[in-house]
Structure 1
Amino acid sequence: MASKITSQGHSGRRPKGGIDQLPSGALRVRVYAGQDRLTKKRNYFTEVVPAGPDAEVKADKVLRKLLVAVDEDRHPKTKATVSQVVNAHVPYMKVAESTRRTLIRYADKHIHPLIGSYPAQLGALDLDRYYAELGRCRDHCTRPFIQHRTHRRHTCDARCAPHECKPLADWTIRKIHFFLSGAYERVRRWEWVTINPMTLADPPSAPQPDPQPPTPDEAARILNAAWQDVFFGTLVWVAFTTSPRRAELCGLRWKHFDLKRKVLYFHRNTVQDGAEIWEKDTKSGQRRHIALDDQTTALLIDYRTYCEEVAAKHGLTISDESFIFSLQPDGSEPYKPTTLTQRYNRLAARLGINTTIRRVRHYSATELIVAGVDIRTVAGRLGHSGGGTTTLKIYAAWVTEADQRASTILLEHVPPRPPDRMTPEERAKTAPAAPYEEIASTLRNRILVGDIADGATAPSVKDVAKQFSVSVGTAHRALGLLRTWGMLSGAGRGIRPCVVNTGEVIDDTWTPTVAEPPIEGPVPGTDGAVLLDLTLLRRGEEIYSFTAQAKPDDPEQLRRLLMGAVKRRGTTDAELDDYDLEIRRSGQSGVISTFAAM
């Protein structure tokens, strides 16, 4: 049927509404609703009535309803899509920059691809289907595919496997829900939509808290393992005794350590987004003052002395503005939060403990509450805004005798700090943790036993990267660690080992391995050499231990190992008689023999 005008505006004006018949037989009701607020084009309020014997009667009712809505200004002022609503909301959000970036990533991955093209006025069915998809697969797959470990060109290994659907976490779905709800509430005030459709949504319930803190025994094992490196040991100790968030821990500067009052101030967060790092206020906006026990205070004093010694070796100094925890000798850059998480989680995994750095705070809270510390004091140490928000913002209101008692209680549940500190470089010789340390340790052992002769050309960075299947950066760090140990000199392909002299020439076909298992018997092709645990003694006092491959009954090989170990300490040949080499078979505690150079 032809277009049928059932209502008009004032005399001589364009008709306000009409009914059109579609090719399917259905009737489309259209009412002019003014200019679109977003596109500035003509905006029509439309609704389709299915074909049927009483379709015209229903269409007339719909037309009158739409005309009344337009006359009473109860109609959407735009035909915006969900993506347009979200994008219009983002510039006006009053949130931290890190939160803004997170929400934008959620929109790019979970909103725009799924419902971004939908009309802004979503229905309950649209929302139910949307949340069902979020709870099905976080990657929103449509067919099976291989989940590669990286998007770069690479050779697939066990880490590249068929994709397995995993639902989006309930907390993440709730964040998306409140993000959309805020966006719709804003455009509702702009009159883009008549109602906020998110009120029709049924998001997941908030998950029940499940802290799962490590047990005191697990905490002790983690702390003892962390002390193999004075930097990481101090960091983990401070985390267990002061309970900061990881971003607060990385944001600590030396000016935040008040030695006179024995207090640590948490004022700033170090925030990371990929390679970009910046500082901001703490999560709750509070400036916390955490009382320290005597042992933690002494530890930080010793740690600053250690940092100053490291900086002095590089011709640098430590200032009050330097970050307490930093990989830079002068503390000019903070320790990255993601690096802290990865290193702590790897340490826990090596110990067989299922925990994360975040659960350190759960551990502290649990131990304090069980010990009887009042909730207000616990909340104050953790920086929680609930449970007495106003009083917890005031330093004098909660740093009291109870807080001093809290610091002592935490100290009672951690193991004592090791009496002797070991530098990361020394620790890597006997207990390598990172991949580059394992590579350097393997190369060092081959140099010590003479597999790589003194003066022979060491493998290049590219050769090491290829042989160990690691990145060029990891290979570069491994060779740099060998130079730190004094076992390499020069640069580029001119790098040469400078320890033992076996007269052998490096084999270009040599393919080392990162980790070699203990060898109980002779190694094939090495003429009876086995893996030995060696301890250097000076006048009966243990200096350090290392592992090497040699014949336990070959005096010449043992002499070379002893001389190499002694020379790395800067000792002259005249003092060689003061040193002995204690020999054990790798993995065994019994001493085979003690070798002394005569």
Structure 2
Amino acid sequence: MTSTSRSKRKGRGEIERLPSGSLRVRIYAGTDPVTGKRHRLEEIVPAGPNAEDDAERALTRLLSQRDEQRNARTRATVNQLLDRYFALTRVEQTTKENYESLARLHIRPLLGDVSLAKINGETLDSFYNVLRKCRARCQGRKYIEHRTDRPHKCDEKCGPHKCKGLADGSLRKIHAVLSGAGKRAVRWGWLGVNPFGQADPLPAARPHPKPPTADQAAKIATQAWKDLDWGMLVWLAMVTGARRGELCALAWDRVTLKPGAGVLEIRSSIAQRGGRTWEKDTKTHQQRRITIDDATVGLLAAYQRRCAQRAGLGEEMPGDARIFSNSPDGSRWLKPDSVSQRYARMCARKPLEWDMNIHQLRHYSATELISAGVDVTTVGGRLGHGGGGSTTLRFYSAWVSEADQRAAGTLSTRLPELPVALDPAGALKSTVQAAEDTQYKRIAADLRGAIVCGALKPGDTLPPFAELASRYGVAFNTAQRAVKVLKSDGLVTVSRGRRAVVASPDTRRAQSDVVSLQTRRRAT
């Protein structure tokens, strides 16, 4: 300590005056578990008349923070945490490589050198905001994006950079990496609390797949069967709903080709990263048996004979031979990415010209099963979902448009007749008034006929409005309207509080003259 500095010890903390006049508050917070060095928490209090009091409060706050174990117990950076996390975390290889790629491209460039002690809610909000705006983190810079980093001649694929943020799915994976690493750091004693938990929770994914319609599926199958090998793969994807990697891993000893007892066993899957492929467990680490119909059993049996004859092996393929392979003996599996690319190209070409992917055939299989009335637990079992069908309900049952249409059709037959209709121009028009017009005119015509034929003689009273309404099944006002027409024609007389009375011929003529006079006056 210099001669211009002095220190004041208080328990386990220290307040030191710096040459500038500011006060440095420092406490011992244990040994850094990463470096093995003594770890201290520090805070600088600016010089001022209340600096001493502010320093005392800062000292108390730091001591409380340490005692409550809310402090970072290490000066390690996010990069150091991620290195240790990936070294010790045991997850599926493809998942781990995907997470490492996200860390390399997006986490380390922005947060890698930041000390864990400085990670807070504001830092995380800023981090995610940058990624949402532009995955290249251009910060408004204008530059040319080239299709490759290697020397090349620019074409239409090279052009001005356009900002494109990371998708919500990628952001959720990044949050999973950081949150998982933070939890490990707490367990290892690096941190008191997980700082990455301060980020706002990202919205849950909303599934919006679009399975092919029945008509589209028929056209896809027709197009695929132009190549028998390719047609068999696409057909099996439709029938079983298996994932592309599971289809690539299928071998002949995993199929039972007996009519009435056809079964397909899903035991493994093919994973791919770049040009490298390997066989692994299924996504949910479950093996499953899928029953197949007799038509598919017959197709697979014929396909096996075709493959065996092509390889010069007689009528059957070896049990370990892959069902779908580019080698005649089935010794090599197909690459999942190649399957996806071929399917997308087939759908994009004429006569289909659709933007589709092969995973939608899985959606199609689930949709058709649920539409047919199969319970979701069985559907989930065929698809290899965990959770006893909860995943199936959450991700598939909402898209059963065919079943929904049938439900709507059933309901429509039980609904009352609509009081609206479309006019010739296609506009919506209420039929309520039209129906009432027809009803009151019918009542007036019936009463008029009774008066003309003598069934109702002059001086006779008409039935009460309530009786007319009940007899014709109309509203009270409709009956009143019918009698009002008879009054305007001079056929009846109406007095307040009394029933309508059939008028005498003289009264009718007088009323007719009055009506004619009023009509002429209105005309002039």
TM-score relative to the length of structure 1: 0.61
On the 8 A contact 1:3/1:18 being kept in 2, the answer is no
What residue identity is the alignment partner of 1:274?
G
Which amino acid letter does the alignment assign opposite residue 312 of structure 1? Answer: G
**In structure 1, distance between residues paired with 2:162 and 2:34:** 41
Letter of the 1:106 counterpart: L
Counterpart residue number, 1:163: 161
Output aligned runs, 1:502-513, within 5 Å.
none
The equivalent of 1:311 in structure 2 is 311
CA distance in 2, matches of 1:38, 1:56: 34
Deviation at 1:182, TM superposition (A): 1.1
The code of the aligned residue for 1:329 comes to P
Q: Deviations over 1:499-531 (max 9, x none)?
A: xxxxxxxxxxxxxxxxxxxxxxxxxxxxxxxxx
**Counterpart position of 1:476:** none
Distance of 1:54 and 1:241 partners within structure 2:
78
Which residue number in structure 2 is paired with residue 18 of structure 1?
Answer: 15
Instruction: Report the residue type matching 1:131 in the other structure.
Output: Y
Q: Could you say what secondary structure the match of 1:135 adopts?
A: helix
Q: Distance in 1 between matches of 2:331 and 2:390?
A: 34
Structure 2 distance, partners of 1:185, 1:3, is 41
| Structure 2 residue 325 is matched with structure 1 residue 323 | no
Q: Residue 381 of structure 2 corresponds to which residue in structure 1?
A: 380
Quickly say closer, same or farther: Cα 1:43–1:329, change in 2 above 3 A.
Answer: same
Q: How many angstroms does 1:370 deviate by?
A: 1.5
Give the counterpart letter for 1:132 in structure 2.
Answer: N
Name the CA distance, whole Å, in 2 between partners of 1:107 and 1:270: 25
Counterpart of 1:286, as a letter, is Q
Q: Kindly state the Cα deviation for residue 52 of structure 1 after the two structures are TM-superposed.
A: 4.3
Q: Partners in 2 of 1:159 and 1:226 — Cα distance?
A: 30
Are the structure 2 counterparts of residues 220 and 3 from structure 1 closer, same or farther at C-alpha, using a change threshold of 3 Å?
A: farther
Write the distance in 2 (CA, Å) between the matches of 1:347 and 1:171: 27
Larger radius of gyration: 2
Matched-pair contact (CA < 8 Å) for 1:29–1:63:
yes
Cα gap change, 1:19/1:220 in structure 2, threshold over 3 Å: closer, same or farther?
Answer: farther
Contact conserved, 1:149 with 1:159, CA < 8 A, in 2?
Answer: yes
Alpha-carbon distance in 2 for matches of 1:111, 1:242: 39
CA, structure 1 residues 16+27, in 2 after alignment: closer, same or farther (shift >3 Å)? closer
Aligned to 1:360: 361
CA contact (8 A) 2:381 2:389 kept: no
Q: 5+ unaligned residues in a row in structure 1: which ranges?
A: 10-14, 391-408, 410-598
Counterpart selection for 2:221 from 210, 215, 223:
223
Q: What letter is aligned with 2:50?
A: D
Partner of 1:30: 26
Residue in structure 2 matched with residue 278 of structure 1 by the alignment: 278
Q: Which of the numbers 77, 80, 87 marks the counterpart of 1:84? A: 80
Q: What's 1:128 paired with?
A: 125
Q: CA deviation at 1:80?
A: 0.8
CA–CA distance in structure 2, aligned partners of residues 248 and 217 of structure 1: 26
The whole-number CA distance in structure 2 between the counterparts of 1:359 and 1:283 is: 17
C-alpha separation in 1, matches of 2:285 and 2:116: 35
Q: How does 1:433-512 map to 2 (within 5 A)?
A: none
**Residues 309 and 139 of structure 1: is their aligned pair in 2 closer, same or farther, counting only changes over 3 Å?**
farther
Deviations 1:214-236 (A, max 9, x none): 11121122111112211111111
Bigger CA drift: 245-254 or 152-161? Answer: 152-161
- Report the equivalent of 1:119: 115
Report what 1:243 is aligned to. 241
- Matching residue's letter, 1:230: L
The C-alpha deviation readout for 1:237-272, integer Å capped at 9, x for no partner, is 110111001111111111111113311111101001
Q: How far does the alpha carbon of each residue in 1:352-397 deviate from its partner, in whole angstroms, 9 at most, with x for none?
A: 112211111111111111221111111111111123589xxxxxxx
- Work out the CA distance in 1 between the residues paired with 2:325 and 2:145: 35
TM-score of the two chains, using structure 2 as the length reference: 0.69
Q: Which amino acid aligns with 1:164?
A: K
Moved more, 114-123 or 56-65: 56-65
- Quick one: which amino acid aligns to residue 214 of structure 1? P
- Root-mean-square deviation over aligned CA pairs: 2.5
Tell me how far 1:301 sits from its aligned partner.
1.2
| C-alpha distance in structure 2 between counterparts of 1:27 and 1:221, whole Å | 78
Instruction: Please report how far the alpha carbon of residue 50 of structure 1 lies from its aligned counterpart in structure 2 after TM superposition.
Output: 4.3
SS of structure 2 residue aligned to 1:32: strand
Structure 2 regions of 5+ residues with no counterpart? 392-402, 404-524
For 1:267, the equivalent position in structure 2 comes to: 267
Deviation at 1:303, TM superposition (A): 1.4
CA distance in 1, matches of 2:390, 2:89: 24
* Count of aligned residue pairs for this structure pair: 384
1:253 is the counterpart of 2:251 = yes
